[in-house]
Structure 1
């Protein structure tokens, strides 16, 4: 008999692949852990963002959706232009600050995994009227796809910076 995988198991698998388990693509942890600050801020012509800026973008969206998942009544206090989520404080380009960014991204994935592992399935099935009436499992799955897309960009940039 074939066991049907639950939405919760799929989401946990997607989050693990994005965070720290090798899958069809390199995890964010594998890509980021050995990068220097210089590599993290490097940009190539034709690509508007550095690895560090992409990490900031992922942190913003992962934390924003996690906050909404925890507190569905949360209303965004400030509308943000998506480009602002990539911002990098050029005055804080230190090894310590880069390590803090990596930890923050990693902690976000760990928090998501913990929340999903411990939530009721009914929570994942609940719809979000203010967001296309989408069920939570769909939103979290798309968040994972968003992460995977940008993790691919980071891997590409890492390869380019190390070639040059």
Structure 2
């Protein structure tokens, strides 16, 4: 695997809809809706994706994540964003994280980046790709249930 593989994978190229665009056209007030028995709102999924993407980027940057309880902290306490600004900021943060991961993919993928562990840069990037892909699929499914998929041409 090489850096181009990860860059393409971060966006689902050749496999699925661009991960960076799954939130396009989602209204902030609808982001907290849960339809049917679907367990998470789109807001909850975005929050969770941001948390873990940030966690892995910290590892890639040689930082120790500060979390004491990531399983609990990685989900928001409310199913909806409190404002349009919070929603827009969360999407911008997610996209910024994708860009940071892309930059990491240009570096030595075999470099061990987690002190005291065998994790390489490639391992951490693979975790970001797989985790984001899984939850992006959930976002698409939630939007399909609500009749809000695919985004209109203007949105994507």
Range class of TM-score, shorter chain: 0.7 to 0.9
1:134 to 108, 113, 119: 119
Q: TM-score, normalised by structure 2?
A: 0.81
Correspondence for 1:9 = 4
| Residue 146 (str. 1) matches residue 137 (str. 2) | no
Query: 1:28-43 alignment to 2 at 5 Å?
Result: 28-43=19-34
Correspondence for 2:154 = none
Structure 1: give runs of 5+ residues left out of the alignment. Answer: 1-5
Moved over 3 A (4+): 88-92, 127-131
Paired residues in the alignment total 147
Structure 2: give runs of 5+ residues left out of the alignment. Answer: 149-156
Correspondence for 1:114 = 103
In structure 2, what is the Cα distance between the partners aligned to 1:145 and 1:157?
19
Correspondence for 2:69 = 80
1:102 to 88, 91, 98: 91
CA radius of gyration, larger in: 1
Stretch deviating more after TM superposition (30-39 or 89-98): 89-98
Q: Is the 8 A contact 1:8 1:116 kept in 2?
A: yes
Q: TM-score, normalised by structure 1?
A: 0.77
Shift of 1:81: 3.7
Shift of 1:63: 1.0
Shift of 1:70: 1.2
